[in-house]
């Protein structure tokens, strides 16, 4: 069920013990928005705790209060009067849903989130969930400390490819500008985020070597097998290296995270890849989407290339 921004804010105001979560395979927006909201709520005198059911790529560990994020243990319970799910629909929060039966408030910016069976405030125009949380700070009268600003800026920067993608709006840059006046150091964040391990750069090299073109150059794909994938923790940015090919409309990367578990990332310059991902059980945005295919790498390639072909 869709609710308004004001209704979402009222629910937060009424709650006192709040569990905050975001999607598995968390990115800068998922970690930035949960950390920012946790700090805002604590400053307002509420109890707030983040649980995320996954490991987090190293670059994001430098964010303020990162060490307080918990991962649910088997059979663990957590006493809360509200769960806030950020930056995703409920299908991607893993075992966090088992921690409590508290009512759920979902805040997101993904076009594929329809809010089925949950109270959802979705702002599809927002470049990042962090853009919504920035606005929420105003509504809740929460002060934006330099730490909170750093977390929010990270989400804005990562979800817009450092303010380059088509989701970058005047409101996004206005928020980023305000956050800098609140104490963000943009170069510190960029330097943290661009760091890669040697294994990651070697992985990128292997991925580029696997490049294949389809449909007369309109589609470019890269592949990382499990052997290579297990040597590093993130493929963030890999796909951007082939998205730039001038003939390409859709770029994809398939990473075999585990045998018969293939993670798909897609980027496009026109085609609605959210729709393609949605059909394959995933979701995302019109120009950036993903899904998981539980097959071999070869089979995943066939399924994906066919689905993209139908959408072209
Ligand atoms: P990425 O390629 O960076 O992993 O994901 C691109 C976008 O698609 C992100 O906004 C991400 O949240 C979304 N996305 C990726 N994989 C999935 C998925 O399996 N399910 C859903 N619903 N969204 C996904
Ligand atoms: Mn996001």
Counted residue by residue, the chain has a size of 312
Ligand 1 site, residue 283, Cβ cutoff 6 A: yes
For ligand 1, atom 19: residue with the closest CA: 291
HSE value, Cβ hemisphere, 13 Å, CA-based, for 174: 7
Per-residue tokens: 159: 């979800």
Q: Is the pTM higher than 0.85?
A: yes
Segments in the chain forming alpha helices (H): 5-14, 28-43, 129-140, 146-159, 170-181, 186-194, 198-209, 226-229, 240-243, 273-279, 297-311
Q: How high is the mean pLDDT in each 10-residue block of the chain (312 residues)?
A: 98 98 97 98 98 96 97 98 98 97 98 94 98 98 98 97 95 98 96 93 98 98 97 93 97 97 97 97 95 98 98 96
286 Cα: distance to centroid of ligand 1 (angstroms): 11
Task: Please give the pLDDT value at position 233.
Answer: 87
- Adjacency order of strands within the sheet including 82-86: 47-50, 17-22, 82-86, 104-108, 119-122
Give me the residues near ligand 2 (ion), CB cutoff below 5 Å.
29, 87, 128-129, 159
Per-residue tokens: 111: 């076009």
| Main-chain phi, psi angles of 215, to 5 degrees | 50, 50
Per-residue tokens: 97: 């849903």
291 Cα: distance to centroid of ligand 1 (angstroms): 6
For ligand 1, atom 1: residue with the closest CA: 265
274 Cα: distance to centroid of ligand 2 (angstroms): 13
Residue extents of the structural domains in the chain: 5-193, 198-311
Q: Name the CATH code of domain 198-311 (choices 3.40.50.970, 3.40.50.300, 3.10.310.30, 3.40.50.800).
A: 3.10.310.30
For ligand 1, atom 15: residue with the closest CA: 290
Task: Please give the pLDDT value at position 230.
Answer: 95
Q: Assess whether the region 5-193 and the region 198-311 belong to the same CATH fold.
A: no
Task: Please give the pLDDT value at position 90.
Answer: 96
Ligand 1 site, residue 126, Cβ cutoff 6 A: no
- Angle of CA points 279, 163, 21, to nearest 5°: 55
Distance from C-alpha of 181 to C-alpha of 187, rounded to nearest angstrom:
14
Nearest atom within ligand 1 for CA of residue 282: 20
- Cβ-Cβ contacts under 8 Å for 138 (sequence gap 6 or more): none
Task: Please give the pLDDT value at position 224.
Answer: 98
Ligand 1 site, residue 291, Cβ cutoff 6 A: yes
The single-letter DSSP state of residue 295 is S
Per-residue tokens: 88: 């995703």
Distance from C-alpha of 283 to C-alpha of 296, rounded to nearest angstrom:
21
Q: Note whether 106 and 132 are within 8 A (CB).
A: no
Per-residue tokens: 196: 């890669």
Closest CA to 298 of 265, 268, 266, 262: 262
Q: Which CATH architecture has domain 5-193?
A: Alpha-Beta Complex (3.90)
Neighbours of 97 (CB within 10 A): 16
Q: Note whether 38 and 50 are within 8 A (CB).
A: yes
């Amino acid at each position: 069920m869709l609710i308004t921004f004001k209704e979402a804010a009222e629910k937060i105001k009424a709650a006192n013990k709040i569990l905050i979560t975001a999607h598995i395979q968390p990115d800068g927006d998922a970690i930035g928005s949960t950390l920012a909201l946790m700090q805002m709520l604590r400053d307002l005198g509420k109890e707030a705790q983040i649980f995320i059911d996954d490991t987090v790529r190293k670059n994001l560990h430098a964010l303020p209060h990162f060490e307080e994020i918990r991962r649910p243990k088997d059979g663990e319970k957590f006493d809360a009067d509200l769960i806030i799910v950020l930056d995703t629909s409920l299908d991607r929060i893993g075992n966090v849903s088992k921690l409590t039966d508290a009512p759920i408030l979902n805040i997101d910016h993904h076009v594929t989130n329809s809010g089925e069976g949950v109270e959802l405030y979705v702002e599809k125009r927002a470049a990042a969930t962090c853009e919504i949380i920035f606005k929420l700070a105003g509504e809740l009268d929460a002060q934006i400390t330099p730490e909170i600003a750093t977390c929010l800026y990270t989400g804005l920067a990562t979800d817009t490819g450092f303010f380059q993608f088509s989701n970058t709006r005047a409101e996004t840059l206005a928020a980023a500008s305000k956050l800098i006046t609140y104490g963000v150091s943009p170069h510190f964040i960029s330097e943290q985020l661009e760091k890669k391990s040697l294994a990651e750069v070697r992985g990128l090299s292997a991925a580029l070597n696997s490049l294949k073109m389809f449909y007369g150059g309109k589609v470019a794909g890269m592949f990382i097998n499990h052997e290579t994938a297990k040597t590093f923790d993130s493929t963030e940015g890999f796909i951007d290296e082939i998205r730039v090919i001038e003939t390409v409309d859709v770029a994809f990367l398939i990473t075999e995270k585990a045998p018969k578990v293939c993670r798909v990332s897609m980027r496009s310059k026109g085609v609605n890849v959210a729709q393609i991902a949605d059909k394959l059980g995933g979701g995302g945005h019109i120009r950036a989407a993903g899904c998981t295919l539980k097959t071999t790498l070869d089979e995943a390639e066939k399924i994906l290339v066919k689905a993209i072909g139908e959408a072209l």
